[in-house]
Amino acid sequence: MAILRKKLKPKQEAAILALLTARNVEEAASTAGVPPRTLHRWMKEPLFDAGLREAKRAAFGQGTARLHQMCSAAASTLGKVMVDPKTPPATKVRAADSILNHTAKAIEIEDIEARLAELERNAEGSKGRR
């Protein structure tokens, strides 16, 4: 909300933060100290809507970063479950399947990124020859 912060009123900023954590608009309005009708009206305004979307993207980015941090622990947990002699066979199969599927997907993504980078290099080279 860095860019929009200059244009939004403090109550509107508070309302945006409340909307990110409240269960509904009425609860968010109460938290922000504004009537629900006011918050509903603000939500229809382009500037407020843009600020809310920007705040949602920032919150989502933080959640994604947290998932990245937990990947190593998740992979370790799956590996431990898979090799633990006390784990039921069906659970071992699910853990193994999950590991294989995620590994295959990661390889596919790496391949796509490499192909995309090559296409971008070729496109830049084509522009230079014109």
Pair of tokens at residue 77: 């947990």
CB 59 within 8 A of CB 20: yes
Q: Which of 4-8, 35-39, 82-86 shows the lowest mean pLDDT across its residues? A: 4-8
In 3D space, the residue among 83, 86, 85 whose CA is nearest the CA of residue 96 turns out to be 83
Exposure string (b/e) for 61-90, b if CB count within 10 Å is 16 or more? eeeeeeeeeeeeeeeeebeebbeeeeeeee
* Dist. CA 10–CA 105, nearest whole Å: 44
pLDDT at 37: 98
Task: Assign 20 a pLDDT band (cuts: 50, 70, 90).
Answer: very high
- pLDDT per residue as tens digits for the range 42-51: 999 999 999 9
pLDDT at 14: 96
Q: How far is CA 46 from the centre of its chain?
A: 23
CB 58 within 8 A of CB 1: yes
CB 99 within 8 A of CB 79: yes
| Residue 107 in this model has a pLDDT that exceeds 90 | yes
Task: Assign 5 a pLDDT band (cuts: 50, 70, 90).
Answer: low
For residues 3 and 130, the model is more confident at 130
For residues 126 and 107, the model is more confident at 107
